[in-house]
Amino acid sequence: MNRVSRRGLLAVTAVTALSVTMAACGSSNSSGTASTSTGNVSFWTLQDPTNSVQQAAVDSFNSGGQGKVSMSVITTDGYKDKLRIAMGSSGMPGMFFNWGGGSLNDYVKAGKLVTLDPALKSHFLPSALAAGTVDGKLVGLPIRGTQPVFLFYNKKVFTAAGVQPPKTYADLTSLVQTFKSKGITPFALAGSGTSAWTELMWVEYLVDRLGGPGLFQKIQAGDWSQWKDPAVLKSAQMIKDLVDSGAFGTSFGSVNYGSGGTSTLLAKGKAAMVLMGSWEYATQQTDDPNFAKNDLGYVAFPSVDGGKGDPNDVVGNPTNYLSVTTTAAKDTAAAFLKTTYSDSYVQGLVEKGEVPVTSNAASLLAKAPDPSYAMFQYDLVRNAPAFTQSWDQALGLTLGTPLLTEIQKLFNGQSSPAQFVSAVVALKH
Amino acid sequence: MTSATTSRPVRAPRAHARSAAPTLPRPGVAWAAPGLVFFLLFAVVPMGGALYLSLTHWDGLSAPQFAGLDNWSRFLGDHQVWQSTLVTGVLLLGNIVVQAPISILLGVWSAGRQRNRAVLSAIFFLPLLLSTAATAVMWRQLLDPNFGIPSKFSWLFGAADPLGTQQGAITCLVLVTSWQFIPFHSLLYQGAARAIPETLYQAAAIDGAGRVRQFMHITLPQLRNTIITSTTFMVVGGLTAFDIVLLLTNGGPGTDTSILPFSMYQTAFRTYDYGYASTIASFLLLLATAASILLTKLSGYDKMTSTLEGL
């Protein structure tokens, strides 16, 4: 969910011009078979604060004599576009950072990825590996921390109102009334066109709590008719009720995500809560370190009475993954994969505030900048019977993009819950 | 009466003499080669590529599959595309209606040589220096209902949700685009207004024409060619500009501001359906070409008559 807020600016000719160059590249790509066993492996990664940890791992690996890994750091904007285009050409990287789920689906189908050794699984938390597995084959190995979604709240606002964070959905709806009567927006929600993915989190949690994680697993596996499950309609109805009751305020359709938007609303006490991924903590820390330290509270998403889902389930980004393509020198890549769960790499991540999903992470979390926050996330993920990956990531962009549009229409009241369900069902032709 | 009858015989031979004058030979085709090669390589070839791709199914990973007219028949039945075309048209018209009059007035005003006008013009032209990305990001913050302009003027906007409704989002897009591009069009008009001969105004002043009459009967007719140029820019620019939509509304709320170039981008780079995206691109190409041909034909711009004839 590391969202791209600004995409590369492509004029109308870009599509036409690009398509032609890609067509030219595409034809020279018939020989994508595995090469020699050791050698030089290119590694594409996303620009983020953990790059220095990755670079250190690469440097120490390169001095080990098992071949060389050359790391390229690519900015968030357009990373997916660049990767997609490269994967259809001869310029395919040997290893690359990715979000798992649906994005890997296409690459597996096109025969671009190498199946990894199942023995590697023992080094990671099971719930984090699901999104790196396609058709039962392990194709992505966790290389970053986990990013579950949960509720953040402003402790000061809660103390002033004399209330506790919600444990059940009934608590949640009564809190909506409490804060509304005080002129505080109960939940900050970024509903502007570029932020529809924050609305998705609500739908994911409600569907999970009502219908259990199995429902979306079936959808992801290809049974699109599962959208007709009553749990989906009921979730949509609950969203409508929340919107109508003013849970998100009246102007959320123009509110943006992050600084200057939802994060500032929460920090300034104009909103009481926000449902967001674990990275919200880092955003608050950058914007307002005092608020992050003293008044930022966090709690799991409440249970919903009568639902089939386990209240311990979480949604979000299980983690980010490292995948190996058929062009990589096999032995070098295999040897490099071992660094992803080495103590030094995991500790490096922990020091950057990440919560790694390796089995050795628990003992290292004491070194985190805020150990209690790190342990909260680690336990949340470890105790979760199911960790549902963000739907748009899990389904891939082809289905995820129009799904986000439909969710936005539901929140905006442009479509009714019933219209929402039929529109989503119609997305897959 | 007399002047009319006498002028006719005088004029006819003059016109005749002009056309009979020995004409210079046209420059050789070789002179156009650099431009032509560039155009061929970066415009015609990609256009051909897009047309071909519009006849295929292609996900960008495997080889394109020839699909005949599949994409085109889907295109004709696609409700969303026609809504996009409509929104594109509405945005286009909105932009012209807002930008043209303001640009003309601002351009003519800034054509004056007074010092204060020069200083103020420099300030007005500032948005021209900003990239669309910067403009969009800045306006997204300015339009924030809690911390932006609407929150400071709540007596005017109420509990405003500017980007949350279709009318609001379209209005915002028109205003932000205008804010960004009025300086450019004003610059065109400023140059053109400065080229109007002073003698015309002097003659009109002698005849007793006031400022408004001078503007209506001299300035506007003299700016005719510039109006056409500027409008063509607005039409073609409006048909191809999608960056502002991508960054400000992302086609939202829902698909309410999903204009054609934007849905083309989304189809190609979000849903990886390059074949169908090329179909939309080809349609856009036809639309833009048709619009600019229509504009030049209707206005007689292709005949390139000078507004200074007879002076």
Q: Which of residues 181-220 of A touch B (CB under 8 A)?
A: 191-194, 196
Cβ burial of B73 (10 Å; 0-12, 13-18, 19+) is exposed
Distance CA A347, CA A350 (A): 5
DSSP bridge partners of A141: A322
Q: Which residue, A408, A409, A395, is CA-closest to A101?
A: A395
The Cα of A180 is separated from the nearest Cα of chain B by a number of Å equal to 15
Residue A416 is given by DSSP the state: -
CA distance A303 to chain B (A): 30
Residues of B in contact with A255 (CB under 8 A): 144-146
Q: How many CB pairs under 8 A join A and B?
A: 171
Instruction: Give the residue-averaged pLDDT of B118-137.
Output: 88
Domain definitions of chain A by residue range = 3-146+318-388, 147-315+396-425
- Least confident range from A31-35, A251-255, A259-263, B111-115: namely A31-35
Backbone angles phi, psi at A297, to 5 degrees: -105, 160
* Domain A3-146+318-388, classified CATH 3.40.190.10, yes or no: yes
Which chain A residues are closer than 8 Å to B240 by Cβ? 11-12
**φ/ψ (deg, to 5) at A116:** -90, 160
Q: pLDDT by residue (tens digit) across B143-173? A: 888 888 887 777 776 667 888 888 889 999 9
The two domains A3-146+318-388 and A147-315+396-425 share their CATH topology (first three levels equal): yes
With CA atoms as reference, the chain A residue closest to B50 would be: A16
Label the pairing between strands A68-74 and A314-317.
unpaired
Residues of A in contact with B61 (CB under 8 A): 84, 87-88, 106-107, 110, 112
User: For the residues A71-80, what does the mean pLDDT come to?
Assistant: 87
Closest-approach residue (CA) in chain B for A414:
B254
pTM, whole model, 2 decimals? 0.83
Nearest to A20 among B46, B145, B277 (CB): B46
* Site from A16, A79, A407 to mutate, B interface, most B CB atoms within 10 angstroms: A16
Helix (H) or strand (E) holding A149: strand A147-154
The reply to whether A263 touches chain B by the CB within 8 Å rule is: no
Would you place residue B12 in the very low, low, confident or very high pLDDT band (cuts 50, 70, 90)?
very low
Residue window 119-178, chain A: list those with CB within 8 Å of chain B: none
Taking residues A351-371, report their average pLDDT: 90
Say how far apart CA A190 and CA A197 lie, in whole Å.
Answer: 9
Q: What are B101's two structure tokens?
A: 């009059």
The verdict on a CB contact (< 8 Å) between A16 and B278 is yes
Using CA coordinates, name the residue in chain A closest to B142.
A260
Contact criterion met (CB < 8 Å) for A15 and B144 = no
Q: Do A20 and B253 touch (CB under 8 A)?
A: no
pLDDT value of position A4: 37
Bridging pattern class, strands A185-188 and A271-277:
parallel
CATH label, A147-315+396-425, candidates 3.40.390.10, 3.40.190.10, 2.70.98.50, 2.40.10.10: 3.40.190.10
Report the distance separating Cα A231 and Cα A304, nearest Å.
12
Cis-peptide into B253, omega within 30 deg = yes
A254 touching chain B per CB within 8 A = yes
Distance of CA A333 to the CA centre of its chain: 25
Interface of A with B in 283-342 (CB under 8 A): none
Amino acid at A174: S
For B220-256, what is each residue's pLDDT tens digit? 999 988 998 899 889 888 887 788 999 999 888 888 9
Give B-chain residues touching A85 at CB under 8 angstroms.
60
Beta strands (DSSP E) in A170-264 are 185-188
Amino acid at the residue B2: T
Q: Which residue has the tokens 């084959």?
A: A137
Q: How far away is chain A from the Cα of B251, in angstroms, using its nearest Cα?
A: 7
Give the span between the Cα atoms of A19 and B47, in whole angstroms: 10
**Residue A255 is nearest to which of B146, B255, B265, comparing CB atoms?**
B146
Nearest CB to B133; choose among A6, A19, A253: A6
Q: How far apart (Å, rounded) are the C-alpha atoms in residues A407 and A191?
A: 10
Handedness of CA A165, A168, A169, A173 (dihedral sign): negative
Q: Among B42, B50, B144, whose Cβ lies nearest the Cβ of A260?
A: B144
Inter-chain CB proximity A19 and B243 less than 8 Å: no
Q: Which two tokens stand for residue A35?
A: 């090469």
What average pLDDT does this structure show over A3-10?
A: 36
Interface check for A409 against chain B (CB to CB < 8 A): the answer is: yes
Is the predicted pLDDT of residue A307 greater than 50, yes or no?
yes
CA distance B212 to chain A (A): 41
* pLDDT at A164 > cutoff 90: yes
Whether pLDDT at A177 is above 90: yes
Show which of residues 68-87 on chain A sit within 8 Å of chain B, judged by CB atoms: 81, 84-85, 87
Task: Evaluate whether B151 touches B261 at the Cβ level (below 8 Å).
Answer: no
What ipTM, to 2 d.p.? 0.79
